[in-house]
């Protein structure tokens, strides 16, 4: 089985979606699948320092980068589109990641022209909140370009059952298959230590850290977190919020003002993006994880918080109701977020017991090897023109 994965960009500044696509591709390769990945060299307002127009091998997958032209939120790559039309017949199936992306349009069209089946993963971008953000532009794009492509897909992969429920009103005819994101167990077992994070941020060493791990973006709910944390900080004076994530859209000054206006800016540290061992060390240093999002597809960051054995607080907009027994899942509401954070800090023994259950829950259900095996079944069914397994009911 030969699979082509298409994604507009995999630069680290794009956070969880980039990470999940790469890790899933690597996990598929571990299942014995031949996986190629094509993308652009975009990385926010920078470009990746990578070879262009040639295959590079990394962790058993091949990746090819192409240059692009950027305008506002959009990227277009003539070279990538040309390559797709030339080589897409070499693959049994194409897996296209993201919607509202000009980069992906040639992938749709090449698949249709050469009759190669394709599956699309919107990664939360068809959620109601996401559709309402810059709604007029998205409505035009969706009706003219995205909907026709989605209607011809062999399947649409959603990351959670609740995401599927919110997509149904769009009346798409392509079947929905639910395949979540995952983690690599070896990144969390044995657990990381906090030493590296303390070396980078020694002034935080004696604090009770609440960790926000995500992009600095309006949908991430920092406007809710700022007043909620201000309340927590009054109740727990040694608490400190770590906001760890990249700012791709220039939202950082607004985000910092939210904390100034709430009167807790001195107890909040914006670290920028944390990657690799430093990120895992930050998770080890934290006392609580929080994700106050208005909308998520299925957050890798939440999985990482749970797998790290942290008490986790996140909103029901994060599409993870399955974790209700092992995390504090609250409505998208400032008071409810504050109440859940208070419980975690005020009840350390109960919070620790909950978080250890969460850790085991993730290891049993959300590792990439299990998820990749399920996706291979779906790929095989599409290629063989058989009924799809694991369909959302």
Q: What is the mean pLDDT of residues 279-301?
A: 94
Q: Does 175 fall in a domain?
A: yes
Rounded CA gap, 363 and 370, in Å? 10
CATH of the domain at 99: 3.40.50.2000
| DSSP label at residue 196 | H
389 belongs to a structural domain: no
Question: Are residues 345 and 216 part of one domain?
Answer: yes
178 and 190 share a domain? no
Q: How far apart are CA 9 and CA 22, in angstroms?
A: 11
The Cα–Cα gap between 157 and 179 comes to 6
Strand pairing class (55-58; 61-66): antiparallel
Q: Do residues 122 and 202 share a domain?
A: no
d(CA 51, CA 62): 12
Partner residues linked to 244 by β-bridges: 213
Are residues 64 and 189 both part of a single domain? no
Q: Quick one: 209 and 355 in the same domain?
A: yes
Contacts of 78 (CB under 8 A, 6+ apart): 69
Residue 282 lies inside a defined structural domain of this protein:
yes
Residue 23 forms part of a structural domain: yes
C-alpha 80/C-alpha 88 separation (Å) is 11
Domain that residue 340 falls in: 185-365
Residue 249, helix vs strand vs coil: coil
Residues 194 and 317 in one domain: yes
Residue 12 lies in a domain: yes
Q: Above 50 in pLDDT, residue 391?
A: no
DSSP string over 46-77: EE----BSSEEEETTEEEEEE--EEETTEEE-
Predicted confidence (pLDDT) per residue in 201-235, tens digit: 999 999 999 999 999 999 999 999 999 999 999 99
Q: For residue 162, is it within any domain?
A: yes
227 with 241, same domain: the answer is yes
Asked if the structure places residue 390 within a domain, the reply is: no
Q: What is the DSSP letter of 260?
A: H
- 169 and 24 housed in the same domain: yes
Residue 158 and residue 196 in one domain: no
Q: Quick one: average pLDDT of 311-325?
A: 94
| Number of structural domains found in the chain | 2
Report the C-alpha gap between 59 and 147 in whole angstroms.
34
Q: Mean per-residue pLDDT for 344-357?
A: 97
Confidence class for position 393, pLDDT limits 50, 70, 90: very low
Q: Does 60 lie in the same domain as 31?
A: yes
Residues 127 and 137 in one domain: yes
User: Strand 42-43 and strand 46-47: pairing?
Assistant: antiparallel
Answer yes or no: do 198 and 175 share one domain.
no
């Amino acid at each position: 089985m030969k699979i082509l994965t298409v994604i507009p960009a995999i630069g680290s500044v794009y956070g969880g979606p980039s990470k999940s696509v790469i890790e899933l591709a690597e996990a598929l390769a571990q299942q014995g699948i031949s996986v190629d990945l094509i993308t652009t060299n975009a990385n926010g307002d920078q470009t990746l320092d990578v070879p262009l127009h040639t295959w590079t091998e990394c962790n058993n997958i091949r990746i090819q980068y192409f240059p692009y032209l950027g305008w506002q939120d959009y990227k277009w790559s003539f070279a990538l589109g040309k390559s797709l039309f030339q080589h897409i017949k070499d693959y049994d199936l194409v897996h296209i990641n993201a919607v509202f992306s000009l980069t992906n349009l040639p992938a749709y069209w090449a698949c249709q022209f050469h009759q190669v089946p394709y599956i699309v993963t919107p990664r939360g971008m068809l959620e109601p909140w996401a559709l309402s953000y810059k709604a007029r532009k998205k409505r035009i794009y969706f009706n003219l370009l995205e909907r026709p492509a989605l209607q011809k897909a062999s399947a649409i992969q959603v990351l959670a059952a609740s995401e599927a429920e919110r997509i149904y009103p769009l009346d798409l005819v392509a079947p929905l298959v639910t395949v979540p994101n995952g983690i690599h167990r070896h990144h969390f077992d044995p657990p990381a230590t906090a030493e590296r994070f303390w070396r980078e941020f020694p002034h935080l060493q004696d604090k009770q850290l609440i960790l926000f791990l995500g992009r600095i973006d309006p949908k991430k709910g920092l406007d809710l977190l700022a007043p909620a944390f201000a309340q927590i900080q009054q109740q727990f004076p040694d608490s400190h919020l770590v906001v760890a994530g990249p700012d791709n859209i220039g939202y950082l000054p607004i985000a910092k003002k939210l904390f100034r206006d709430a009167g807790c800016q001195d107890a909040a540290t914006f670290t920028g993006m944390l990657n690799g061992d430093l990120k895992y060390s930050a998770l080890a240093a934290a006392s609580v994880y929080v994700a106050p999002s208005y909308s998520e597809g299925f957050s890798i960051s939440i999985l990482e918080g749970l797998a790290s054995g942290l008490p986790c607080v996140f909103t029901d907009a994060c599409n993870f109701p399955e974790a209700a027994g092992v995390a504090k899942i609250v409505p998208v509401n400032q008071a409810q977020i504050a109440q859940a954070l208070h419980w975690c800090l005020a009840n350390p023994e109960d919070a620790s017991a909950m978080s250890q259950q969460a850790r085991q829950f993730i290891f049993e259900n959300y590792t990439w090897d299990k998820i990749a095996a399920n996706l291979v079944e779906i790929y095989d069914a599409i290629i063989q023109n058989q009924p799809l397994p694991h369909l959302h009911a």
